[in-house]
Amino acid sequence: MKKYLLILAIIIPLGGFFVAFQHFSSAKTIKSPRIVAKNPANKNVTQDEPQSAPITKPEIQASTTLKTDNPTDQPIKTSCQYPSEILNLSNWKQTLPTGSNKKPTEIKEIALASFQARPYFLANSSCDGVVFRAPVNGVTTSGSGYPRSELREMTNGGKSLASWSTTSAIHSMYLEQAITAVPKKKKHVVAGQIHDADDDVVVIRLEYPKLFVDINGKAGPTLDPNYTLGKKFSVKFVADKGTINIFYNESASPVFSMKKSGTGNYFKAGAYTQSNCSKETDCSDNNFGEVVIYKLALQ
């Protein structure tokens, strides 16, 4: 009897040891539970380990207005129909390279507010600029042999021709623009000027690739010796106390100054192509000068 009791005393502890060992072994082989998480595209992603929740970036609302230091900032449009939706044309008239000999088509306010003339005067595809195009075969004015798609300064809401004195008050015009095309042979375009009753006083002229100030046919300071077509630049004309100053690309001081006392002055802006069919081998609508104006302001 004692013999059997001794055997049981040895077997029972050993059984407990084997049970414990089996439990310990199976615990080591337990796998982590499979977790199903949602990815940002709302698709199920199966993974063997937990993942951190995706970081969601805060949504940033884009401003509809480009902020700069210039007071002529305008809202960025996504659709438009007329140039007047981009530029304030209330004190301008538009001269086109169309019409009859020496009598080009002119559009004044109030008609200018709802007017375009493709491809000579229209809003660009981005609705942030106005395209002015004058082909070498275009109609010219009586006082010039060259075609233009150009604005002429007016007063009284576009009803009267502007004609001011350089000594009477401050008169200024600010332009942000790009010259986008020149004629094929004579690659010259005027893009912005002060004119008087007789002739141009001072203009911004491109004789590609040289961009410079031109003083009634005489070359002034060079603004860009190697201008690239399509490159934006700004220019500001200021007439005050018998002096005309020109500022280029927001310069703090003028790049050009000249003494000028007189009346009958006014501003012009757009594309004044300095070539015609007599100077070109291609006398067609496909040969032209072109300017895009993004900002225009008078004072």
Which of 81, 80, 110 has the alpha carbon at shortest distance from 93?
110
CA 126 to chain centre: 8
Asked if 175 and 235 touch (Cβ cutoff 8 Å), the reply is: yes
Compute CA distances 204 → 70, 170, 195, 198, 217, whole Å.
21, 20, 12, 18, 11
Q: Please tell me the predicted confidence (pLDDT) of residue 287.
A: 99
Instruction: Report pLDDT for 78.
Output: 73
Nearest to 201, CA basis, from 245, 233, 160, 142: 245
Residue 22 pLDDT > 80:
no
Please report, to the nearest 10 degrees, the dihedral formed by the alpha carbons of residues 174, 67, 83, 201 taken in order. Answer: 10
Mean pLDDT score, 211-239: 98
Average pLDDT over residues 86-97: 98
Quote the pLDDT of residue 38: 41
Domain-located, residue 272: yes
Q: Which residue has the higher pLDDT, 239 or 51?
A: 239
The conformational region for residue 16 under phi > 0 = left, psi -120 to 50 = alpha, else beta, is alpha
Residue 74 is predicted with a pLDDT of 54
Residue 157: predicted pLDDT: 87
Cite the DSSP H helix spans in the chain: 2-28
Does residue 92 sit within a domain?
Answer: yes
Instruction: Tell me the pTM.
Output: 0.75
User: How far is 221 from 148, CA to CA, in rounded Å?
Assistant: 24
- Decide if 174 is inside a domain: yes
Name the DSSP class of 281: S
Question: Does residue 50 lie in a domain region?
Answer: no
Give the total residue count for the chain.
299
Does 19 reside within a domain?
no
Point out the least confidently predicted range of 72-76, 114-118, 205-209. 72-76
Asked whether residue 8 is domain-assigned, the answer is no
Q: For residue 89, is it within any domain?
A: yes
Q: Which pairing describes strands 243-248 and 160-161: parallel, antiparallel, or unpaired?
A: unpaired
Query: What pLDDT, on a 0 to 100 scale, did the predictor assign at position 70?
Result: 44
Report long-range pairs for 31-34 (Cβ below 8 Å, ≥24 apart).
none
Specify the CATH number for the domain of residue 184: 2.60.120.200
Residues 233-275: tens digit of each pLDDT: 999 999 999 999 999 999 999 999 999 999 999 999 999 999 9
- For residue 17, give the 3-state DSSP assignment: helix
- Of residues 48 and 191, more confidence is placed in 191
Of the ranges 38-42, 58-62, 185-189, which one carries the lowest mean pLDDT score?
58-62
| Residue 204 within a domain | yes
Residues 6+ away with beta carbon under 8 Å from 80: 86, 123, 127
Q: Are 88 and 295 in contact (CB under 8 A)?
A: no
Mean pLDDT of the 66-73 span: 41
Q: φ and ψ at 154, to 5 degrees?
A: -125, 175
Domain count, the chain: 1
Question: pLDDT, tens digit, for every residue of 93-105?
Answer: 999 999 999 999 9
pLDDT bucket at 20, cuts 50 / 70 / 90: very low
Contact criterion met (CB below 8 Å) for 156 and 248: no
| CB contact at 8 A, 270 and 148 | yes
Instruction: Report pLDDT digits (tens) over 142-178.
Output: 999 999 999 999 999 899 999 999 999 999 999 999 9
The answer, yes or no, to whether residue 28 has pLDDT greater than 70, is no
Q: What is the CA radius of gyration of the chain?
A: 37
Q: Name which residue leads in pLDDT, 21 or 293.
A: 293
Q: Is the pLDDT of residue 72 over 70?
A: no
Which residue is it, tokens 């009859």?
A: 100
Which position has the higher pLDDT, 261 or 10?
261
Query: Which range marks the domain in which residue 91 is found?
Result: 83-298
According to DSSP, the β-strands at 35-38 and 243-248 are unpaired
Percent of the chain with pLDDT over 70: 74
DSSP result, 39-56: -TTS-EEEESS--PPPPP
Mean pLDDT of the chain: 83
Q: Is the torsion defined by CA of 109, 113, 118, 120 positive or negative?
A: positive
Instruction: Report the SS3 class of residue 151.
Output: strand
First vs last C-alpha separation in the chain:
125
- Read off the tokens for 274: 């300095």
